[in-house]
Amino acid sequence: MIGKNLLADFYGISPSALSDSSLLERCLREAALESLLTPLREPVLHQFEGGGITGFLLLRESHISFHTYPEHGFLALDVFTCGRSDPEKVVEVFRKYLSPSHDQIVTAVRGGGTP
């Protein structure tokens, strides 16, 4: 196995939280810290007209990214890590700050096949 790719769909989040760039930047920073991941740059966030936000944190171990849809109370989170890091800890941080009513998590092993 080379890495893990975790996809998390969070539902039932308040639209104000999904439009709060400061809160979402805090999620990215704390998620990297709690997961022992190494940021290579500052987080990048872009807020769209209407409130949705796309965020990205480039890591030595790969990346964390998200897309928010305030009008649907939905956040899509993508965490790709290699090495010993634990992408589930990233999910825990986002859960703590966003309090989704429910979520769906899918994890894929990357580079686990034979050539």
Tell me the HSE value of 66 on the side-chain side, using a 13 A CA sphere.
Answer: 31
Stated pTM of the model: 0.92
Q: Report the C-alpha gap between 106 and 9 in whole angstroms.
A: 9
Q: What is the largest CA-CA distance in the chain?
A: 47
| Residues marked as catalytic | 62, 67, 82
pLDDT tens, residue by residue, 66-111: 999 999 999 999 999 987 778 899 999 999 999 999 999 999 888 8
pLDDT tens, residue by residue, 33-69: 999 999 999 999 999 998 999 999 999 999 999 999 9
